[in-house]
Structure 1
Amino acid sequence: MCYDISFASDIESIHDILPAIQIQGELRFDPTFHKLGMSFPTWPIVVNTNNRLELHPFVWGPIPKMLNTPDKVKKQRQMFLNARSEKILEPKTMWTAIRHQRCLVPVTGFYEYREIPGQKNKQAYFIRVKGQKIFFIAGLWTLSNSWDIEKPEKITTFTIVTREANSVMKQIHNGGNNAGRMPMMLTNELAEMWVKPELNDDQIKDILSFSMPSIDLEYWPVNSVRKAHPDDESVIEHVDEIDLPPIILQ
Structure 2
Amino acid sequence: MCFHTSQTKKTTELENRFDVSLVDDSIREYFDVPRYHMNGFSHPNMLVIPQEKSNVLAPGVWGIVPNNKSKEEIKPYFKEAVKYGGGLNARSEKVFQHFIYRSSIMENRCIIPVSGFFEPHDYKGVKYPFHFKDKENKPLALAGLYTVIDAFITFTILTKDASPLFAKVHNKKNRQPVILDDENTHNWLSTDLNENDIKDILKFTYPEDSLDAYSVSRDLFSPKVDSNVPGIIEREVYDDLQFKI
> Which residue does the alignment assign to 2:17?
17
Choose from 148, 171, 174 the match for 1:174.
171
Matched, 1:197 2:188: no
CA distance in 2, matches of 1:196, 1:188: 13
How far did 1:94 drift?
2.1
- More divergent stretch after superposition (25-34 vs 160-169): 25-34
- More divergent stretch after superposition (58-67 vs 218-227): 58-67
Choose from 143, 150, 156 the match for 2:148.
143
> Which residue does the alignment assign to 1:31?
34
How far did 1:160 drift?
0.5
CA distance in 1, matches of 2:239, 2:69: 47
SS in 2 for 1:215: helix
How far did 1:230 drift?
4.8
* 1:17-96 matches, cutoff 5 A: 17-19=17-19, 21-25=20-24, 26-27=26-27, 28-29=30-31, 30-49=33-52, 52-64=54-66, 73-77=78-82, 78-90=85-97, 93-96=99-102
TM-score, normalization by structure 2: 0.86
Stretches (4+) displaced over 3 A? 65-73
> Which residue does the alignment assign to 1:212?
206
How far did 1:89 drift?
2.8
Matched, 1:106 2:113: yes
Cα distance change on mapping 1:62 and 1:49 into 2, 3 Å: closer
SS in 1 for 2:55: strand
Cα distance change on mapping 1:216 and 1:87 into 2, 3 Å: same
Equivalent residues, number: 232
CA distance in 1, matches of 2:15, 2:176: 26
| 1:166–1:213 Cα contact (<8 Å) kept | no
1:18-69: CA deviations, max 9, x gaps? Answer: 23x121134331221110000001101112436x511101111122359979
Amino acid at match of 1:219: A
> Which residue does the alignment assign to 1:133?
138
CA distance in 2, matches of 1:110, 1:5: 4
RMSD: 2.3
Once the two structures are aligned, what percentage of the paired residues are identical? 28
1:195-242: CA deviations, max 9, x gaps? Answer: 112211111111001012332221111112122135332111211243
CA distance in 2, matches of 1:72, 1:110: 25
How far did 1:132 drift?
3.7
